[in-house]
Amino acid sequence: MSQQKKFGAIALIGATNAGKSTLTNAMVGEKVAITSHKVQTTRFQIRGIAIHDHTQIVIIDTPGFFNPRRAFDRAMIATAWDALQDVEIVALIVDASKPFDDHKHQPYLDRILSETDEKDRILILNKVDQTAKDKLLQLAAHLNDLCHFERTFMVSALSGSGVGDILNYCAHVLPDSEWVYDADEMTTMPTRIMAAEITREKIYERLHQELPYKIAIETESFDPADDGKGYAISQIVIIEDKKHKPIILGKQGQTLKKIGTMARETMMEYFQCPVHLKLHIQHREKWMDKDEAFSQFET
């Protein structure tokens, strides 16, 4: 007799750069979310799919909490809170390597308290390999005083330490149900969006210090290659400030060329086929204040 299948979702929420995207990738076992040292890298809900002990687990990676200053920022924050709806587990991710700011986190903890039941929420302290054990225990106790959690996990998402404990917990508590997705699916993100996210990640990797996060990538076309092998992809790098164009281009276009090479190599690994990639830069004044900027949140 085959074991009963189980299915459910866990939402990862927390401050910017807490490691939510890295943890999502670690739980899935493959790259489905871009990562960067740049704050506010994740802009919308990213759903990764993991299978563990006959359980299909949907992992929802969300934008990090920060103080929004414009409509685009507020839309990012709204997508994070939307993730609390219709999930079985809400996980607060805290970077244990940094001093914990009660004042900064209290509004988020209050909302988690008001919108979730204790039995449905867990605490995940990340980057524990960079933190003394006594400080970890103090932080865990302090957070549970502020907002009671059903379980507390201590992990290093980057190394994978402790990630299996979270998967085991999810497999234990999620309800009996048939799987919603095919067994080989790793994400619900459309391929053209994933391609755009990969290029955005490479721009951040290459130009972390020089460039603000206010850029976007639009996949113009995503078609089978003319030779029938892999994909031909054309993308626009959207900038709001004209002075960023020479930064992205680099001397004689070498920086953009390098970014394209890095993105293409990652896409080939992700899509498991050849990729032909074309990039060009386009200036759009106050793009993030226009309706088209919000279409990505509808994914």
- Tens-place pLDDT, residues 196-221: 888 988 988 888 766 655 678 888 99
- Tens-place pLDDT, residues 189-200: 778 888 888 898
Domains and CATH numbers, the chain: 6-173 (3.40.50.300), 191-298 (3.30.300.20)
The fraction of the chain above a pLDDT of 90, given in percent, is 40
Lowest average pLDDT, out of 12-21, 130-139, 282-291, goes to 282-291
Output the pLDDT for position 20.
Answer: 86
Output the pLDDT for position 145.
Answer: 92
Output the pLDDT for position 65.
Answer: 60
Average pLDDT over residues 239-253: 88
Q: Read off the pLDDT band of 77 (50, 70, 90).
A: low
Average pLDDT over residues 165-189: 90
Q: Read off the pLDDT band of 29 (50, 70, 90).
A: confident
Res 150 pLDDT > 90: yes
Give this prediction's pTM. Answer: 0.71
Average pLDDT over residues 71-91: 68
Distance, in Å, from the CA atom of 153 to the CA atom of 92, rounded to the nearest integer, reads 10
Res 293 pLDDT > 50: no
